[in-house]
Amino acid sequence: MIYFDNSSTSFPKAPGIQKALDEYINNYPFNISRGNYRASYTLEEKVYNVRESIKAFFNASETSNVVFTSGVTASLNTFIRGFHKQGDHVLVSPMEHNAVMRPLEAMRKDGIITYTVIDKDDIFTGNIKKYIKPNTTSLIVNHASNVTGDVIDINALGVEAKRYGLAFAVDSAQSAGEINIDARNIDFLAFTAHKGILSLQGVGGAVISKGVETRIKPLVFGGTGSRSSSFEMPDFLPDKFEAGTGNIPGIIALGEGINYINTVTLDRIHDHKIALRDEFIKGVSEIDNFEVVSLQNNDFVGVVSLIHKNKDLAEISNSLDRDFNICTRVGLHCAPLLHMTLGTFEKGGTLRFSFSYFNTSSEVKECILALKTLA
Ligand SMILES: Cc1ncc(COP(=O)(O)O)c(C=O)c1O
C-alpha cells in the first residue's frame, strides 16, 4: 500500500511507540497525581518528561505552559470559547479548518462574537491593520493548510498581532513535526500528536503563553488531583486545563514521536517531504487536465491538492485505491473556507496527496504512472 493521506493521520507511526506502549501496559498502566505509591510516581515522571520535551520542542518558556488535551480541536475550542467575551471581534486567516470555523460560527450565532476573514493577499503580507476594530481581541491562523500545503509566516504575524494588542493563536496541526515553531511568539499554540509528530490519535495539547492563561476560562471542569478542597478549578497551569484523567498512553506515544523527530531533525523531514512534493508536481504537470491549486508559491509543507478539468475526483481517488493500492483523500478536507477562496468549493473540493518522511521517490513515481493511466 502507498499511503499518501498523512495530513489526515500519519502512517506509519514513529518507531519506538510500540515498545513504549508495551512497557506501559505491562508495568505501569496506572494514574498520575492521584496515587500514593512509587509506580504512580514513576509514571508521573514519565509524563513530566514528555511535557519537558514538548517545552523544548516548541521553545516554550516553562514546562507548566504545556497543557495536554485530546488534540487541536479540543485546544482551539478551549481558546475560542474560553478567551472571547461578549462583543469581541476575531480575525482569522482564509485557511482555517472547521476546528476554528465551527466554534467561531456557533459563538457568532449565539450573538457573542463577530469575526472577519482576512484576504489571502493580506494574510501572506502581514497586512492586518485595516481589519482591526476597537473590539478586535484576537488573531487565529492555521500555520499550514491541510488542503494546499500553503504556509503562513507566523513569526511576522505574531509581531503584528502584538503591535495591535491582539492575542495570537496558531493551529499547528499540519506544521508541527515538519517546521520549527517558536511558541514564544505565540499566545496560544494548538498542537496534535497524530499527524506530523507521527504519534497516536486523541492526544495533543496547547502551549499557553505565561499570563495568557488568566484570560482563558477552562472548557472542562473536574478533578485534577490538586487543590482538592475547592469546588473551583485551580487557576494555575497546567491543571487549569487538564480536568479528569488524561490520555496517558497517548502522552507516552507523543513523547516517542517527539524523540524520533528530534533524532531525524525537522530540517531533514521538511526537505524530504518538499522533495517528494516537488517531484509529484513535476510529474503531474506532464499529465493533461490536472491542475495544482494553492494560494501562494513560496512556502509549503508536504501537502498538495489537484483538480481535474473534466473527471470526477472521487472516481480518481477510488480507482487509485482499488486498482493501484494508493491512499488519498478527496473533498473539502474540513476546510470549506479555503475552498471558497480557491474557487474549488462548488465542485466539491480537491484530490489531496499528503506525504510523510517515510514515503519514497519510487512511490511518487508509481503514483504518477497511476494518474497517467487514469487521466
Ligand atoms: C488544519 C487542521 N486543524 C485542525 C485539525 C484537527 O486536529 P485534531 O485531529 O488534533 O483535532 C486538523 C486535522 O484534521 C487540521 O488539518
Atom of ligand 1 nearest to the CA of 193: 10
Within this chain, do residues 34 and 137 fall inside the same structural domain, yes or no?
A: yes
Q: Structurally, how many domains does the chain consist of?
A: 2
Per-residue pLDDT of the chain in tens (375 residues, 90 and over written 9): 999 999 999 999 999 999 999 999 999 999 888 889 988 899 999 999 999 999 999 999 999 999 999 999 999 999 999 999 999 999 999 999 999 999 999 999 999 999 999 999 999 999 999 999 999 999 999 999 999 999 999 999 999 999 999 999 999 999 999 999 999 999 999 999 999 999 999 999 999 999 999 999 999 999 999 999 999 999 999 999 999 999 999 999 999 999 999 999 999 999 999 999 999 999 999 999 999 999 998 999 999 999 999 999 999 999 999 999 999 999 999 999 999 999 999 989 999 999 999 999 999 999 999 999 998
Q: Note whether 336 and 220 are same-domain residues.
A: no
Shared domain for 36 and 148, answered yes or no, is yes
d(CA 173, ligand 1 centre) in Å: 5
Among 264, 297, 319, give the residue marking a domain's end.
264
Residue nearest to ligand 1 atom 16, measured at CA: 146
pTM for this structure?
Answer: 0.98
User: Pick from 155, 179, 366: which is nearest to 279 by CA?
Assistant: 366
CA 298 to chain centre: 20
Q: Say if residue 290 is in the same domain as residue 187.
A: no
Contacts of 335 (CB under 8 A, 6+ apart): 95, 96, 97, 98, 145, 146, 147
Question: Which domain range does residue 315 map to?
Answer: 2-10+266-374
Q: Are residues 279 and 237 part of one domain?
A: no
CA distance 220 to 236: 15
Query: What's residue 5's pLDDT?
Result: 98
State how far the Cα of 68 lies from the Cα of 87, in Å rounded to an integer: 29
Q: Decide which of 264, 298, 328 is a domain's last residue.
A: 264
Among protein residues, the one whose CA lies closest to atom 15 of ligand 1: 173
Q: Which CATH number goes with the domain that contains 367? A: 3.90.1150.10
Q: Cell 478542597, residue?
A: 229
- If asked whether residues 226 and 332 sit together in one domain, one would say no
Q: What pLDDT sits at residue 227?
A: 93
Place of cell 517558536: 182
Dihedral (CA of 331, 337, 342, 347) sign: positive
pLDDT for the residue numbered 287 = 97
Instruction: Ligand 1 pocket test: pick from 68, 93, 171, 203 the residue with the most ligand atoms within 8 Å of its Cβ.
Output: 171
- Residues flanking ligand 1, CB < 6 Å: 7, 71-73, 97, 99, 142, 146, 171, 173-174, 192, 204, 334
C-alpha 253 to ligand 1 mean position (Å): 18
Do 291 and 240 sit in the same domain of this protein?
no
155 and 177 inside one domain: yes
Candidates 246, 187, 174; CA nearest to 60 is: 187
Same domain, 179 and 291: no
Q: Which of 10, 67, 68, 73 to mutate to test the pocket of ligand 1 (most atoms within 8 A of CB)?
A: 73
Residues 238 and 368 in one domain: no
Q: Whose CA is nearest to atom 7 of ligand 1?
A: 72
Closest Cα partner for 335 from 144, 160, 82?
144
Cis omega before residue 15 (within 30°)? no
Residue 149 and residue 6 share a domain: no
Per-residue cell: 179: 517546521
Based on the fold, state whether residues 358 and 348 are members of the same structural domain: yes
